[in-house]
Amino acid sequence: MNAPTHPATRCASGPAAAHTSDVSPLPPAAWPTHATLRAVAHRLVDAICDAQDAVSYAPPLRTIPDRERATLQTRGIPDTGRDPLEAATELLRIVETGAARANHPRAFAFIPGPHSAVSWLGDLVTSGLNPHAGSWLQSSGAAAIELEVLRWLAARFGLPATTAGVFTSGGSLANLTALQVARDRRLAQRDRAQAVAYCSDQCHSSVAKALGVLGFAPEQLRRLPVDAAFRLDPAALARAVDADRAAGRHPWVVVANAGSTNTGSIDPLDAIADIASTRGLWLHADGAYGAAAALVPARRAAFAGLARVDSLTFDPHKWAFQTYGCACVLVRDGADLTRTFHTRPEYLRDTDTTDHAPNFWDRGIELTRPARALRFWLTLQTLGADGLARAIAHGIALGEAAAAALARTPYVECLSGPQLGIVCFRFVPPGVDDAAALDALQSRVARAVTDDGTAFVLTTVLRGQVCLRLCAISPQAGAGDVETTIARLARYAGVSPVSPVSMRST
Which stretches of the chain bind ligand PLP, using CB under 6 A?
Answer: 111, 170-172, 175, 204, 206, 261, 286, 288-289, 315, 327
Which residues are CB-contacts of 479 (< 8 A; sequence separation ≥ 6)?
398, 401, 405
For residue 438, what are the contacts with CB-CB under 8 A and spacing of at least 6?
A: 426, 428, 432, 465, 466
- Count of C-beta atoms within a 10 Å radius of residue 406: 24
d(CA 505, CA 425): 12
Task: Kindly give, in sequence order, each residue whose CB lies less than 8 Å from that of residue 73, ignoring residues fewer than 6 positions away.
Answer: none
Nearest approach, Cβ of residue 329 and ligand PLP (Å): 11
* Separation between Cα atoms, residue 217 and residue 123, nearest integer Å: 38
Nearest alpha-carbon partner for 88 in 22, 14, 36: 36
Report, in Å, the least distance between residue 288 CB and ligand PLP: 3
**Cα separations in angstroms, 258 against 291, 303, 404, 477:** 6, 7, 24, 24
Q: How far is the CB of 9 from ligand PLP (least distance, A)?
A: 50
Nearer to ligand PLP, 42 or 209 (CB): 209
Q: Are strands 221-224 and 195-200 parallel, antiparallel or unpaired?
A: parallel
User: 226 — phi, psi (to 5°)?
Assistant: -105, 170
For the bound state, the minimum distance from the C-beta of residue 289 to ligand PLP, rounded and expressed in Å, comes to 4
Q: Strand, coil or helix: what is 107?
A: strand
Q: What CA–CA distance (Å, rounded) separates 133 from 131?
A: 6
2 or 205: whose CB is closer to ligand PLP? 205
Rounded to whole angstroms, how far apart are CA atoms 506 and 492? 22
Rounded to the nearest 10 degrees, the angle between the axes of helix 234-246 and helix 269-279 is: 20
Report the nearest approach of ligand PLP to the CB of residue 204 (Å): 4
> Which CB atom, from 398 or from 445, has the smaller least distance to ligand PLP?
398
Nearest approach, Cβ of residue 318 and ligand PLP (Å): 7
**Closest by CA position to 463, among listed 202, 221, 260:** 202
Query: Is the CB of 288 or the CB of 401 nearer to ligand PLP?
Result: 288
Q: How far is the CB of 469 from ligand PLP (least distance, A)?
A: 12
CA distances from 169 to 79, 163, 284, 402 (A): 33, 20, 18, 31
Q: Rounded to whole angstroms, how far apart are CA atoms 57 and 51? A: 10
Smallest separation (angstroms) from ligand PLP to the CB of 406: 22
Which residue's CB is nearer to ligand PLP, number 204 or number 372? 204
Q: Which is nearer to ligand PLP, 315 or 400 (CB)?
A: 315
If the CB atoms of residues 207 and 503 are measured against ligand PLP, the closer one turns out to be 207
In the complex with ligand PLP, the residue whose CB is nearer, 315 or 362, is 315
Task: Supply the minimum distance, in Å, between the C-beta of residue 107 and ligand PLP.
Answer: 14
Which residue, 152 or 324, has its beta carbon nearer to ligand PLP? 324
Nearer to ligand PLP, 267 or 315 (CB): 315
User: CB of residue 25 vs ligand PLP: minimum separation in angstroms?
Assistant: 40
Find the DSSP H helices in 348-475. 374-407, 435-451
Which residues, including other chains, have CB under 8 Å from residue 51's CB and lie 6 or more apart? 92, 96
The CB-of-503 to ligand PLP minimum distance in angstroms stands at 30
Q: Name the residue nearer to ligand PLP (CB basis): 206 or 460.
A: 206
Q: Are 183 and 400 in contact (CB under 8 A)?
A: no
467 Cβ contact partners less than 8 Å away, ≥ 6 residues apart: 413, 415, 424, 425, 426, 442, 459, 460, 461
> CB of residue 80 vs ligand PLP: minimum separation in angstroms?
39
CB atoms closer than 10 angstroms to residue 464: 7
Q: Which is nearer to ligand PLP, 102 or 493 (CB)?
A: 102
